Structure 1
Amino acid sequence: CVRPLGDIVTVAPQQPQSGIAHRVTTRVPIHFHQPDTDRFSIDGTPADCARVALKRFVPDADWLISGINPGANLGSDVYNSGTVAAAREAAILGCRAIAISQYIARDQQIDWAATGHHARPVLQMLLSRDLAPGHFWNVNLPHPHSTDMELTYEFCGLDTHPHQYTYHRQGDALIYKGTIHERPRDTGKDVAVCFDEGKIAITCLAVGSGDFA
């Protein structure tokens, strides 16, 4: 959905990296595959992708866009998210960045055509805005029903409520059980804006404290 907005180089992990957070690879080589001049497949994490993109493949990049992730990265998710980590790493390296994720409603599938349709104008708007050094945008799209819907966006703060989860014991194993759909949330923060109001939630995050700007 961003190809009309500029010259795009894709640097992506070879394997799913959900929940990998800001892990980076330093003790072993990072192997890569280059199927085209503007596409790289990396045997590493999302943060690795940001590092090698900006240090090796595209050092003069104007922006780094991480995503679109299948699943929301709201509130406390930003500390676990590989998608957000790639944008954070770019901000650390002095490159403007956006992390973007698509919330998946319960028992629903993503319509990627609708996701791209709604993401494009928001990305275009953010690419034209000023962004202070050491900051990056975190964008979460509500679950779209069609390209005919009109979605609005809201700049909002990060919700700090933790997920509701527990661990069930099975022998000598502990099994995680939790859900994002009924998570606690505050009105006006990113979780409520996306889940309850059905708006695109946009939060400016700061490198360092991890707090929102």
Structure 2
Amino acid sequence: MSLILTNDDGIDAPGIQALVKAVEISAISPNVIIAAPQDHLSGCGHQVTTVRPLTIQRRSDTAFAISGTPADCVRLSLSHICPDVKWVLSGINAGGNMGVDSYISGTVAAVREAAMHGIKGIAISQYKKRDFAFNWDNSIKWTAKLLPDLLNRPLPLGSFWNVNLPHLQQEAEPEVVFCRACTKPLPVNYRTEGEKFYYTGEYAKREKTPGSDVEACFSGKIAVTQLTINNY
């Protein structure tokens, strides 16, 4: 089984290195290709490049840095790098991608693009509490344990998994919760300086709808939602 690993934080980001380690630990596939943006593109959504050329920089036999978006990376992977890919894994994003974040997230867009081509996918994001550092060791451990389960669960054509890991400082084994995506909007607040508007909305103050991925992740659980291209 061939896997494509990508992200929106860039090929040199610690999150994708954590994903590589998680895949190695889980031993889900010996055939893994990294095809990720050469630059940081967090929040780029499902943007694709059609009016300028894309380049592929070969970092190794199995790693490619692409001068495009996460969706571009999936497109080029399917057409030129690894046409026989069975799964696309995207992440581990440095920050949560819950609920309506999926419309904004390049991490989620990568697996959505895969789903459009009939390829299964998993987007993985690590929520971060303000003023605390990421614990990538936890991210690796939890992801490695979760991947075999998700790859073996039935997943309808056109669907994909969206995973959000909680931010826990202590060594812990958080509960995995399969839940729905929150549909409430992100906080919309701005600070003004003359004619300039600066976004000041606080991510952690978004509404936590009971039974949603936001409520689950914010309460210290691993939130897993099944999304489909039919939702968009």
| TM-score normalised per structure 1 | 0.94
Task: Report the alpha carbon displacement of residue 131 of structure 1 after superposing the two structures with TM.
Answer: 0.9
Cα distance between partner residues in 2 of 1:60 and 1:130: 20
Cα deviations by residue, 1:115-170 (Å, 9 ceiling, x for unpaired)? 10111111111011121101000000001324x31111011001011111212222
Task: Report the alpha carbon displacement of residue 20 of structure 1 after superposing the two structures with TM.
Answer: 0.4
Cα deviations by residue, 1:16-39 (Å, 9 ceiling, x for unpaired)? 111100000011111121011110
SS in 2 for 1:165: coil
SS in 1 for 2:173: coil
Who is 2:143 aligned against?
A: 119
SS in 2 for 1:164: coil
Who is 1:149 aligned against?
A: 172
Aligned residues: 208
Superposition map of 1:41-52 within 5 A: 41-52=65-76
Cα distance between partner residues in 2 of 1:154 and 1:105: 20
SS in 1 for 2:191: strand
SS in 2 for 1:20: coil
Who is 1:165 aligned against?
A: 188
Cα distance between partner residues in 2 of 1:172 and 1:189: 37
* Percent of residue pairs bearing the same amino acid type: 42
Equivalent AA in structure 2 for residue 207 of structure 1: I
Who is 1:34 aligned against?
A: 58
Does the CA contact (< 8 Å) of 1:115 and 1:144 recur in 2?
no
Equivalent AA in structure 2 for residue 166 of structure 1: N
The alignment status of 1:183 with 2:199, answered yes or no, reads no
SS in 2 for 1:15: coil
Equivalent AA in structure 2 for residue 79 of structure 1: Y
Cα distance between partner residues in 2 of 1:189 and 1:208: 19
SS in 2 for 1:8: strand
Q: Which has the higher helix share?
A: 2
Equivalent AA in structure 1 for residue 132 of structure 2: Q
SS in 1 for 2:201: strand
Unmatched 5+ stretches in structure 1: none
Does the CA contact (< 8 Å) of 1:23 and 1:45 recur in 2?
yes
SS in 2 for 1:140: strand
Structure 1 outlier segments of 4+, above 2 Å: none
Equivalent AA in structure 2 for residue 209 of structure 1: N
Cα distance between partner residues in 2 of 1:114 and 1:166: 32
Who is 1:92 aligned against?
A: 116
The alignment status of 1:201 with 2:201, answered yes or no, reads no
CA RMSD across the alignment: 1.1
